[in-house]
Chains A and B, each alone.
Chain A
Amino acid sequence: MNKYLERLYNGIIKENPTFVLMLGMCPTLAVTTGAMNGLGMGLSTTVVLILSNLLISAFRKVIPNGVRMPAYIVIVASLVTVVEFVMKGYTPSLAAQLGVYIPLIVVNCIILGRAESYASKNPVLPSVFDGLGMGLGFTFGLTCIGIIREILGAGQLFGHQVLSLDWFTPITIFVMAPGAFLVLAVLVAVMNIVRERMEAKGKPLASPSGCLTGDCASCGQSSLCTGRKDTAKTE
């Protein structure tokens, strides 16, 4: 498979940050009261993720190893500030809805995780596609949760009433905090079932063993890893 497409597939399906890696749980649970919020949060994170991967990958030979974390944070925080101002300017209502969770993208584990495990070790273009794939995977996860919660909790889809209130009683718990946990748990369970089926068929998806790169040769934890490739064992 093409290297770039492989990165996209990896981010959206194989190592989906929401359902497989379980990263970025705070915005996942907090802002997904509706499909629109999930989509907005996912896309703004995607933009930050692509640009931060691009910059960090471009500067990877300049940034000294000892201060790489502060350097990443400076890059990510600058990008988040730009995104926040753009959102406040062009989509003020969405920005108001997401509130404090936009500045909090800075500390989203997905962004630092990708910077640390992929962008800092790989060339620019694959890193950009890695950011795009991870971002779309995150967007996909958040939008799925948002759609389910909005339909069950309010009978709406992207703000439009799809289930008539004449016969549908909204199950309000789903737009409240407990609903986020219930929906996320059910979706992760579904994802696990899919993965087991795929493995039974001989087309395994990645196991969520904490492996972020799939590159066993340069991985510092390959000695502890349970899911490493056989080539790594023989080394």
Chain B
Amino acid sequence: MSELYNVSSSPHVRSKDTTGRIMFYVLIALLPTSIFGVYNFGYKALVLILVTIASCVVSEWAYNKIVHKKNTLGDLSAVVTGLLLALNLPATLPWWQAVIGGMFAIVVVKCLFGGLGQNFMNPALGARCFLLIAFAANMTNFTIDAYSGATPLAALRNGESVDTMDMLIGRTAGTIGETCTIAILFGAIFLILMGVIDLRIPGSYIVTFVIFMALFGGHGLDSNYIVAQLCGGGLMLGAFFMATDYVTSPITPNGQILFGVCLGILTGLFRTFGANAEGVSFAIILSNLLVPMIEKITIPKSFGQVKEGKKHE
């Protein structure tokens, strides 16, 4: 009786997924990539990852303390931001620059705009782009004992050939987390199986990018070139872990596909016609800024809704 007459406001369906839980899944999904990065680039990579995470966590705690806000460390988002940022840095980066990056990500990109859920661009990528402009020389220094010299993308740009097998298993120069495609894909499959992300954004991103590169890359349908472009740079990491960020991607299903198409076109444009070999991070933060507009034009029709013009027929 009481159940029948129990009137309450929505939401009526609740799930056990909390922000902290989803962030924890993302952390697990990033484990293979992180472990491989440390294995590949040595203890320096481990130190950088720990320093960046610590910087993000301390920044968030200190900011909330200073402005008298509720402590939000429990949602683990600062840890995820720190780990993602570290995976986007070269292992040779001086540690204090990583600390500045972590502070920028949390304080400037996230907290000043109102904290998690209000940030208009991905904090980790915002900080990566900040560091890329601020410390251009350090951020593009990929010289590591094992692999010296150019990243696969830079080599491709210079017309050299690259070994795609090496790129799949990550035996190339690059940032800590971007080199091993297989490790990234393991994490991505885990996230998809757990229902944390779906394939709309990464799928449309990758498909658009492949089409763009086939049309404008200058190598036609050369599969070796296209696979190298897909596995090189931060595309895989960006597509599965950063473009899918709930806060900075559209919530409408069609909008997510449009978002992915934007990403693919922008990345292709930056890589083919831009000044640098890599353009994933700029493509993602630029598309983040387009999200409100994408959502506006892709509002789904509600059930039974009639178009304005047909009402009076």
A→B interface (CB under 8 Å): 169, 171-174, 176, 178, 182
Contacts and interface: CB of A to CB of B under 8 A. Distances in A.
Contact of A169 (B130, B133, B138): B138
A172 B94 CA distance: 16
A177 to B, nearest CB: 10
A54 to B, nearest CB: 43
Contacts of B136: 172
B138 A172 contact: no
A120 B134 CA distance: 46
A15 B17 CA distance: 51
Which residue among B108, B133, B136, B138 has the maximum number of chain A CB atoms within 10 Å of its CB? B133
A172 B133 contact: yes
B134, B136, B138 — most chain A CB neighbours (10 Å): B134
B135 interface: yes
A172 B132 CA distance: 10
A217 B291 CA distance: 48
A176 B97 CA distance: 18
Contacts of B130: 173, 178
Nearest to B130: A173
Nearest to B135: A169
A173 B138 contact: no
Contacts of B138: 169
Give the secondary structure class of A's interface.
helix
B56 to A, nearest CB: 19
Contacts of A176: 133
B94 A173 contact: no
Interface string B91-104: 00010010010000
Interface of B: 94, 97, 100, 108, 130, 133-136, 138
A182 B133 CA distance: 14
A182 B130 CA distance: 11
A129 B134 CA distance: 41
Contact of A178 (B97, B100, B133, B135): B133
Nearest to B136: A172
A169 B138 CA distance: 10
10 cross-chain pairs, A with B, having the tightest CB-CB distances, nearest first = A173-B134, A173-B133, A171-B134, A172-B134, A169-B135, A173-B130, A176-B133, A172-B136, A178-B133, A172-B133
19 contacts: A169-B94, A169-B97, A169-B135, A169-B138, A171-B100, A171-B134, A171-B135, A172-B133, A172-B134, A172-B135, A172-B136, A173-B130, A173-B133, A173-B134, A174-B134, A176-B133, A178-B130, A178-B133, A182-B108
B92 to A, nearest CB: 13
Nearest to A153: B134
A220 to B, nearest CB: 36
B141 to A, nearest CB: 12
Nearest to A174: B134
Contacts of B133: 172-173, 176, 178
A182 B134 CA distance: 13
Q: Among A173, A174, A178, which residue has the most Cβ atoms of chain B within 10 A?
A: A173
B97 to A, nearest CB: 7
A165 to B, nearest CB: 12
Contacts of B135: 169, 171-172
Contacts of A174: 134
A86 B134 CA distance: 37
A117 to B, nearest CB: 33
Contacts of A182: 108
A176 B133 CA distance: 9
Given A171-B134, A174-B134, 13 more contacts: A169-B94, A169-B97, A169-B138, A171-B100, A172-B133, A172-B134, A172-B136, A173-B133, A173-B134, A176-B133, A178-B130, A178-B133, A182-B108
A171 B100 CA distance: 10
A204 B259 CA distance: 48
A99 to B, nearest CB: 23
Contacts of A173: 130, 133-134
A160 B95 CA distance: 28
Contacts of A171: 100, 134-135
A153 to B, nearest CB: 9
A169 B135 CA distance: 8
A112 B283 CA distance: 41
A178 B129 CA distance: 11
A175 to B, nearest CB: 10
